[in-house]
Structure 1
Amino acid sequence: MYLLRLALQSLNNRRITALLTVLVIALSVTLLLSVERVRSEARASFASTISGTDLIVGARSGSVQLLLYSVFRIGNATNNIRWDSYNNISTLPQVKWAIPISLGDSHRGFRVMGTDQSYFTHFRFGRDKPLSFAQGKPFADLYDAVIGADIARELGYQVGTELVLAHGAGAVSFVEHADKPFRVSGILAKTGTPVDRTIHVSLQGIEALHVDWQQGMPARGAGHVSAEQARELDLTPTAITAMLLGLNRRIDTFAVQRQVNQFSGEPLLAIMPGVALQELWSLLSVAEKALLLVSACVVLTGLVGMLSAILGSLNERRREMAILRSVGAKPWHIFSLLVLEAMALAAAGILLGLGLLYIGLGLARPILEQEYGLFMPFAWPSPAELKLLATILLASLLLACIPAWRAYRLALVDGLSIKT
């Protein structure tokens, strides 16, 4: 115990250097824990982009590609699903509900998705959270549109705003459906998922946009169908892009997946969202690990700074060590003293780093939740974070052995006769 008091008094005599060392370690610890917490929450948020959906069905391709265009609105399908195939699969006895999805159009770079009312009833995200409306209501008219929270914020749209959809998924389109404008009927609450950047319309609305199109271009003259004329037509879809399935029993997932993959009507693929999300995350984990590695290097830099400070002070402290030896201190006392100093600096840096982390969370949490959908709770350090902190303490202990061993080797005569 007396060695610890002696170590703290020694640090107090060099308080400026000690405080700077603690600050460097604290900042590096804060960065490391921030990256780890954002990384874990980003993974949880990524995995909960879609919840409660047992299977996603689309044209036969790759599982990641199907997940990307059906859930994340990235890329395009290799083929569509015939409407009769959708009806056959959605009426299977194991299927509780089915959500059709039709993609292909956009508005100022935001994807347009055709669906039906079951989407607002059954779609879940996060930890089984349902969709809710910040304003307005689901689409009821043929030309109603429900927009995500990010679209409303970035474009300044409100309920009743008129918007014109464009053909294709690019940010810029030279072919617009200007003859059939839509009206915003509702704005969804923030979800932190691709839903926030999606415009939702009815499947019949998607059909109405393309009812007079031929070979990828709108008809002219007598072949043109106006917005009001389209209301009188049969707008039953002929094809959709994908479908989300919820089953009566989770145990039936593999059986239904096999049925879909062996469907005789056309080549289809059924994937489990959780498995596909893990596969996709594994592809993105390289950047995640690289970021964590950079943070670890910053922490190591802070510990090396501590090592340099202690090593740099050894020459100045030779006489101090010699006096301690002259009053009966053993060599292992000198060794332990320097180790305790280093551990005290590291422990103080970790505690200060934790304090800075929680202060930063308090300031940044509303922004992260609002802008990126990341919920950062005020929780005790997780087991993974505790392992990182224990690793920092262990690293500081190992690094402290270098100056401690050097001090251990100092002889009494060498300390009392310092050469200038």
Structure 2
Amino acid sequence: MMRLRLAGKSLVNRRGTVLLTILSLTIGILLVLGINHLRTQVKESFNNTLSGTDLIVGARGGALNLLLYSVFHMGSSTHSIRWQTYEELTKHSQVKWAIPLAMGDSHKSHRVVATTPDFFAHYAYGKKQNLSFAVGKAFAGKYDVVIGAAVARKLGYQLGDKIVLAHGIAEVSLAKHDDSPFVITGVLAPTGTPVDKSLYISLEGMAAIHEDWQSGVQIPSPKKTSQQTAQKQDDHDHDHGHNKEEHHEHADDHSSDEEHDEQHHDHHAHDQSLSAIFVGLNNRAATFTVQRQINQYTGEPLQSIIPGLALAELWQLVGSVETAFNLIAWLVVIAGLLGMTTSLLAGLSQRQREFAILRSLGAGLWYLFVLVILEVLLICSSAIVFAIALLTFLLWSLQPWLLSEWGIQLALNFMTPQQGYYLLAILLSSVVLSLVPAFNACRRALSDGLLLKH
């Protein structure tokens, strides 16, 4: 205890150099702990995004591209799937449920996904947790929309609000579906997945707003233009006191036209193309068999992927990036430890008087040896404490931003057994490096003692 107190007072006496050494070590340890925690949390967040879905079906192309745009809403599909393919897939004996997805629109940089109410019944995340509604319910009408928790929080939307969707997925879009506003009927509970940052409409709604669109440009149909002209003429006649019976007759005709349009939209909803299909099977043992059958489908070029295997492939691709970040963090730690060792070696010549006084008071060479090692342990332990405190503060302050902007929920408790092994390795490395200045201090003290005797 006496040696520890003496080591602390010695460090305080050289506080300028010691503080700089602690700062450099703190930064390195912070990077090691932070990068490892971020890596594990991002993996866990990605792995928890989709659960209970056995296959994802899309147009033939890259497996990772299909995974990214269908599950994580990154990028876009290169080709589409016919509705007839989806209908044939639902008739497969091993298919328990299938969820069609159509994408391509957005709302203030948030993706819009057209699907069926089955999405809210079968989509699961985490440990097979189903989606739930914070308020409201699933869409029922053609122009109903369900929004994620992050969309509602960021844009301040509530039930009953009307919103306008934009054509395409660009952050700024001039092509908007102003003529077909949607009404918010439900807000999903937070999930910590891309679902929170998305909007969900019916396939009929998607077909309706794109009926007059070709190649990203709205081209009003002659039929709709004539209906609008007839409606204006009807209003004009009504304002000038035309025969009421004749007006009611015309209104009935117009009502029948609207019913015809409704049926027309519903028909086209089942003729539109799809971006992807989530599939759940009756028996998971048949996964590879069904996957092979889908990949060999002759109706159109398809591919099916197993989400877990596709994620494993993704982590293999980014594994080199993880290694690079970890290597940089460890290099910073090593540089800090070497700087600490160099600082101690450089300061030995200035501590000859200190060691001489200790020797005169009866301190042996072993006492000085242990004293230097304790100083190193105090420096390294202080850096570890500061790094843990700083990382806790950063996680606490950045957690809301990471969740809203990136959909990543970082746990505040980052101390895992692996992190403990890292800290233990840093402490042991500091002790090993401290042997150099400790031996040097003993050698100097011994040579000074011999000179005094001589």
Same fold (TM over 0.5): yes
Choose which of 3, 8, 31 in structure 2 pairs with 1:6. 3
Residue aligning to 1:164: 164
Change (3 A) 1:32 1:17: farther
Change (3 A) 1:159 1:358: same
1:64-103 correspondence runs (5 A): 64-103=64-103
Instruction: State how far apart, in whole Å, the 2-side matches of 1:363 and 1:393 are.
Output: 28
Residue aligning to 1:141: 141
Q: Is the 8 A contact 1:218 1:224 kept in 2?
A: no
The aligned amino acid for 1:6 is: R
Change (3 A) 1:160 1:390: same
Q: Do structure 1's residue 339 and structure 2's residue 336 form an aligned pair? A: no
Q: Per-residue CA shift, 1:39-67, capped at 9, x if unaligned? A: 21122112222122111000110101111
1:256-335 correspondence runs (5 A): 256-322=290-356, 331=365, 333-335=367-369
The aligned amino acid for 2:177 is: H
**Aligned length in residues:** 415
Q: Per-residue CA shift, 1:249-297, capped at 9, x if unaligned? A: 2222111111111112211101011121222233344444444344334
Change (3 A) 1:389 1:253: same
Change (3 A) 1:214 1:299: closer
Q: Do structure 1's residue 207 and structure 2's residue 207 form an aligned pair? A: yes
Instruction: Report the alpha carbon displacement of residue 356 of structure 1 after superposing the two structures with TM.
Output: 4.8
Instruction: Report the alpha carbon displacement of residue 354 of structure 1 after superposing the two structures with TM.
Output: 3.5
Q: Is the 8 A contact 1:7 1:338 kept in 2?
A: no
Q: Is the 8 A contact 2:166 2:173 kept in 1?
A: yes
Q: Per-residue CA shift, 1:45-95, capped at 9, x if unaligned? A: 122221221110001101011112111222222221121211222222222
Instruction: State how far apart, in whole Å, the 1-side matches of 2:205 and 2:61 are.
Output: 27
Identity value in percent: 43
Greater helix share, structure number? 2
In the alignment, structure 2 segments of 5+ residues that lack a partner are: 228-256
Q: Is the 8 A contact 1:318 1:415 kept in 2?
A: no
Residue aligning to 2:177: 177
Q: Per-residue CA shift, 1:279-324, capped at 9, x if unaligned? A: 2233344444444344334433443443244224312322443455
Q: Is the 8 A contact 1:212 1:224 kept in 2?
A: no
Instruction: Report the alpha carbon displacement of residue 103 of structure 1 after superposing the two structures with TM.
Output: 1.1
1:369-408 correspondence runs (5 A): 369=403, 372-377=406-411, 379=413, 381-408=415-442
Q: Is the 8 A contact 2:37 2:414 kept in 1?
A: no
Instruction: Report the alpha carbon displacement of residue 236 of structure 1 after superposing the two structures with TM.
Output: 3.9
SS at match of 1:135: strand
SS at match of 1:187: strand
The aligned amino acid for 2:74 is: I
SS at match of 1:317: helix
In the alignment, structure 1 segments of 5+ residues that lack a partner are: none
Deviates more, 1:335-344 or 1:256-265: 335-344
Instruction: Report the alpha carbon displacement of residue 232 of structure 1 after superposing the two structures with TM.
Output: 2.7
1:242-261 correspondence runs (5 A): 242-261=276-295
Deviates more, 1:392-401 or 1:115-124: 392-401
Q: CA RMSD in A?
A: 3.0
Q: Is the 8 A contact 1:106 1:169 kept in 2?
A: yes
Instruction: State how far apart, in whole Å, the 2-side matches of 1:77 and 1:393 are.
Output: 50
Q: Is the 8 A contact 2:365 2:445 kept in 1?
A: no
Change (3 A) 1:163 1:359: closer
Instruction: State how far apart, in whole Å, the 2-side matches of 1:345 and 1:215 are.
Output: 65
Instruction: State how far apart, in whole Å, the 1-side matches of 2:151 and 2:396 are.
Output: 27
Instruction: State how far apart, in whole Å, the 2-side matches of 1:90 and 1:80 are.
Output: 17
Deviates more, 1:157-166 or 1:348-357: 348-357
Q: Scaled by the length of structure 1, what TM-score is found?
A: 0.87
Q: Is the 8 A contact 1:322 1:416 kept in 2?
A: no
Instruction: State how far apart, in whole Å, the 1-side matches of 2:109 and 2:404 are.
Output: 21
Change (3 A) 1:37 1:85: same
Choose which of 227, 230, 237 in structure 1 pairs with 2:270. 237
Residue aligning to 2:234: none
Q: Is the 8 A contact 1:67 1:276 kept in 2?
A: yes
Q: Is the 8 A contact 1:142 1:231 kept in 2?
A: no
Instruction: Report the alpha carbon displacement of residue 390 of structure 1 after superposing the two structures with TM.
Output: 1.7
Instruction: State how far apart, in whole Å, the 1-side matches of 2:220 and 2:382 are.
Output: 76
SS at match of 2:300: coil
Q: Scaled by the length of structure 2, what TM-score is found?
A: 0.81
SS at match of 1:183: strand
The aligned amino acid for 1:42 is: V
SS at match of 1:405: helix
Change (3 A) 1:378 1:35: same
Instruction: State how far apart, in whole Å, the 1-side matches of 2:346 and 2:303 are.
Output: 65
Residue aligning to 1:350: 384
Q: Is the 8 A contact 1:211 1:230 kept in 2?
A: no
Question: Larger C-alpha radius of gyration, 1 or 2?
Answer: 2
Deviates more, 1:318-327 or 1:301-310: 318-327
Deviates more, 1:374-383 or 1:273-282: 374-383
Q: Is the 8 A contact 2:56 2:276 kept in 1?
A: yes
The aligned amino acid for 1:160 is: G
Instruction: State how far apart, in whole Å, the 1-side matches of 2:29 and 2:147 are.
Output: 41
